[in-house]
Amino acid sequence: MHNDAILIAVIARISCKTHPLGRPALQQRDDLVKGLKLLGVDGDWSRESLDRPRWRQLLKVARCIEGL
Domain residues of the chain, as ranges? 24-68
Q: Do residues 51 and 24 lie in contact, with contact meaning Cβ atoms separated by under 8 Å?
A: no
Digitized pLDDT (tens) for each residue of the chain, 68 residues in all: 567 777 777 777 665 566 667 777 777 777 777 877 887 877 777 788 888 998 888 878 877 775 55
The pLDDT of residue 53 is 92
0.85 exceeded by pTM = no
DSSP assignment of 34-46 equals HHHHHTT--S-HH
Residue closest to 58 by CA, chosen among 27, 32, 28: 32
The pLDDT of residue 66 is 57
Q: What's the sign of the alpha-carbon dihedral 16, 22, 23, 29?
A: negative
The pLDDT of residue 17 is 60
How far apart CA 22 and CA 18 sit, in angstroms, is 13
